[in-house]
Amino acid sequence: MKLPAVLLGVDIVAADRLATAARRGGETFDRVMGGGGPTFSVKESFIKAVGGRPPGFSWHDFQETGERPAGWAGRLLDEAAAELIASTGLDLPGRAVFTVSGASEKAALVRLPPHAGRVTGAARWGHGSGLFVSLAIVYVRRKGTQ
């Protein structure tokens, strides 16, 4: 069985840079990002995966579902995370599935081959040594598959 195409994004950012952005953005940053630094880094990795911030972009284009990546997408994410862990020396214990919607979903569909299904994202992330590190994949989740 041929696996569908996947878009990949990585974000590595200094924690002090995020702290500065949070101070500058205040309540707006907290309201939009929710989880602060890790959330910002994860969403940045999704932005990189879909090819940037398309016209009409919103930070709400990527929302965590509470599910854990499973099936082929989970295995692919774990393999890619192992490479990132080896190169940064940081563990990536955070993991979740995300919806991809709005302008970011449209941008992803331009870069993914045509498939019937829902554009979905999965991410792993972690922090340490003054860094936030995240890895995201975007793919089409076909009905009845992981």
Give the CATH number, domain containing residue 28.
Answer: 3.90.470.20
Q: What is the mean pLDDT of the chain?
A: 85
pLDDT in tens, 23-41: 776 655 555 555 555 788 8
> How many domains is the chain built from?
1
Helix, strand, or coil here: 100?
Answer: strand
**Residue 146 CB neighbours (<10 A):** 15
2 found inside a domain: no
pLDDT in tens, 47-78: 999 999 999 999 889 999 989 888 999 999 99
1 found inside a domain: no
146 found inside a domain: no
Q: 38-41: which pairs have CB atoms within 8 A and are 24 or more residues apart?
A: 38/94, 38/125, 38/127, 38/132, 38/134, 40/13, 40/132, 41/11, 41/12, 41/13, 41/125, 41/132, 41/133, 41/134
Q: Give backbone dihedrals phi and psi of 116, rounded to 5 degrees, phi first.
A: -90, 120
Nearest Cα neighbor of 105 from 126, 87, 121, 88 is: 121
Q: Is the pLDDT of residue 3 over 90?
A: no
Which residue range forms the structural domain that includes residue 60?
Answer: 7-141
